[in-house]
Amino acid sequence: MLVNVSANGPGTSARPAAPDRRAHDDAPDTAAAFARLAEMDEGPERDLVRDELVRAWLPMAHRIAGRFRNRGESAEDLRQVAAMGLVKAVDRYEPERGAFESYAVPTITGEIKRHFRDRMWTLRVPRRVQDLRNKVRVARREISQTSGGGAEPSIAEIAAHTGLTEEEVNAGMEALDSFSALSLDAEMSSGDDGYSLADTLGAPDTAYDIVVDRESVKEGLRRLPERERAILYMRFFEDMTQNRIADRLGISQMHVSRLISRSCARVREEALGRTTLSS
C-alpha cells in the first residue's frame, strides 16, 4: 500500500518532486569551478580550469550545433563554430548573474547564426534584407502550420502576420533564394527543349565598344570638307575600294589614299582633344 507523506504531516498529498534544474544530461554541475575561475588571476592554473570547463560543456555546444544541420554547412564546421561560442561564454560568464547554461545557450546560438549570416551567403545581401528573409521564412512556416492546409501563404497574409509591408515581404521572399546559388549547368526545363541556366545568360554586344568612339568623331566629321566626308562615307559605309572612289571622283587612287589618311588623322586628333579643326 502506498502512503503519501509530506512535510505537512501524514494524511496530506505530497507535492511532486521538483524537476531537475538541469534540462539536459549535457549540463554538468560546474558552479564551484566557475566560482573558483572568477577568483583566479591570469596564469597557467586559471587556463587549466578554463579548459576543463570548456571540455565539460562541449557536449552541450555540439547539441546546439545539431539544431542547424541540413542547412548547407557541414556538421564538423558547425561544431567548431559552436565551440568558439562556448569559449566566449566561458570567458564572459559572471556566476552572480545566474546559471551558466542560461547564458551559454543564447551565446552559442548567436555565434552559429552569425556564422550563417556572415559566411554562408552565396549572394551577399544587406543585413536588413537578411532580417526580412528570416521573418518571412518563420511567418510562412507558422501560417502553414496554423492553416493546416499546407497551401503557400500569400504576400498579404505574410504581411499581416509579421506587420511588414508587402514591399518588405517581397524583398524577404527574394532573399530566400539568395542563400545559395545554382550551378550554370542547372537544368531550367526538361524535355527536348530543355536548357540550362547558362543558356539564359546574354553575350557581350561588341557594338557597345564603339558607341563612345562613334559619338566622339561626329563633330570632327562635320568639320571636314564635303569631298572628304563623301570619300570616307564611300570607303567605310559603302565599302568601296579606293580605285572605285578614284574613278567616281576623277582623281588618282593615291590622292584618295592621302585624303583618307589625312581625314582620319584630323578626326582622331580632334576626338582625342589634341587639336581644334578649323572650318
Shared domain for 58 and 113, answered yes or no, is yes
CA–CA dist 35, 168 (Å, integer): 48
CA–CA dist 101, 184 (Å, integer): 45
Nearest to 65 by CA among 26, 118, 20: 26
Q: In this predicted structure, what is the pLDDT of residue 146?
A: 81
The string of pLDDT tens digits covering residues 94-133 is 998 889 999 999 999 999 988 877 776 666 677 788 788 8
CATH number of the domain bearing residue 166:
1.10.10.10
pTM beyond 0.75 = no
Shared domain for 213 and 258, answered yes or no, is yes
Q: Summarize the confidence of residues 249-274 as an average pLDDT.
A: 89
Q: Domain end: 94, 119, 144, which one?
A: 119
| Positive/negative CA dihedral, 201, 203, 205, 209 | positive
Q: In this predicted structure, what is the pLDDT of residue 63?
A: 93
Shared domain for 46 and 112, answered yes or no, is yes
Q: Domain end: 86, 119, 152, which one?
A: 119
Max mean pLDDT range (7-21, 139-153, 184-198): 139-153
Of 177 and 207, the structure prediction assigns the larger pLDDT to: 207
Shared domain for 115 and 132, answered yes or no, is no
Q: Summarize the confidence of residues 13-36 as an average pLDDT.
A: 64
Rg (CA), the chain: 38
Question: Which amino acid does the sequence have at 203?
Answer: A
Shared domain for 157 and 237, answered yes or no, is no
Q: In this predicted structure, what is the pLDDT of residue 24?
A: 59
**8 in a structural domain:** no
Shared domain for 97 and 45, answered yes or no, is yes
**pLDDT over 60 (residue 218):** yes
- Range(s) of the domain holding residue 149: 127-176
Shared domain for 257 and 217, answered yes or no, is yes
Q: How many domains does the chain have?
A: 3
CA–CA dist 127, 125 (Å, integer): 7
CATH number of the domain bearing residue 60:
1.10.1740.10
**111 in a structural domain:** yes
**172 in a structural domain:** yes
